[in-house]
Amino acid sequence: MLQILSPEGKVVGNKSMPEVSDEKLQELMRKMVYTRVWDQRAISLNRQGRLGFYAPVAGQEATMCGSQSALGKEDFILPSYRDIPQMVWHGFPLHKAFLYSKGHYQGGQIPEDVNVLMPQIIIAAQITQAMGVAMGFKLNNEKRVAITYIGDGGTSQGDFYEGLNFAGVYKVPAIFFVQNNQYAISTPFSKQTAAESIAAKAQAVGIKGVRIDGMDVLSVYNTVKEARERALAGEGPTLIEALTFRYGPHTMAGDDPTRYRQQEEMTEWEQKDPLIRFRSYLESKNLWSKEEEDKVIEQAKAEIAEAIKLADAAPKQKVTDLIDIMYEEKTPALQEQYNEYTQKEMK
């Protein structure tokens, strides 16, 4: 397992630090702190009934922020339902992320200059889609990559192997990033596969595979940066397995992690927390302080409040809106229903 920083925030053994500017190091920390604040607020909003579907991200900030920060704006992100932070840090407006969670159609309207797809709900479907997007880049001689995310449970789906196999054969510029957070809802990783690791599965399809410490943002950033460089050089895709942990439930839809996880396990992973680890490292380099972190927290709270206000101000969604969006031409039966709903909405 590749690790650069220990849980204590020290550079491991004889490892050398990747070439990362002080500004980039501070940016990584700001993104992780901001994401943790945002996650706490989103959970609170969900409990108040002001958000619909939401998948908590606390514990996985290093995998999300570290990987996105290693990309270029021209690169394409194909997320799963937990990967909203990567979308937002790639340019997707925060208020639209809240609208997505509320189930509003405007939450699915992506700005033209933001290279993301909407989160994939069908498990592992994003793997074959990312392969296709990357194939398009290759055929068009475009110097950019497609990155997609999946959990450890999703690697047991057929689409995972099919996408990787095709990507390997045609050496497409793709990065397949597995956030192994130890549980597929309540199924522990030990019951997910008999393989030594998920990264080892790369060998079967002839691509590069690497297993990293997903609580170490520098390992994540450096690995994705190298994978991107390999892809742009025509050396094919990379499968990255990042060992991480989600502190909260799988989603806010009734999952209770205390029913399948022991407190001892929680405590062990909390001691590896990505924010604590990276904070210690940056403070030792005089690149971070409590005052700086407090500024980020206050900024996050203010921007999140404004984004929520914008989301709440969106026009109430109507049935006719959905019909207009879905259909260019209406069948006679659909037109009849449309007229009926139009009359109801006018009352």
- Residues annotated as catalytic are 246, 250, 260
As a whole number of Å, the end-to-end CA separation of the chain is 63
- What's the rounded Cα separation, in Å, for the pair 339 and 1? 61
**CA 55, chain centre distance (Å):** 11
- Longest Cα–Cα distance of the chain, Å, equals 72
The per-residue b/e assignment along 152-187, b for 16 or more CB within 10 angstroms, e otherwise, is bbbbebebbbebbebbbeebbbbbbbbbbbbbbeee
Closest CA to 248 of 160, 299, 181: 181
- Decide: residue 285, CB within 10 A, 0-12 exposed, 13-18 middle, 19+ buried: exposed
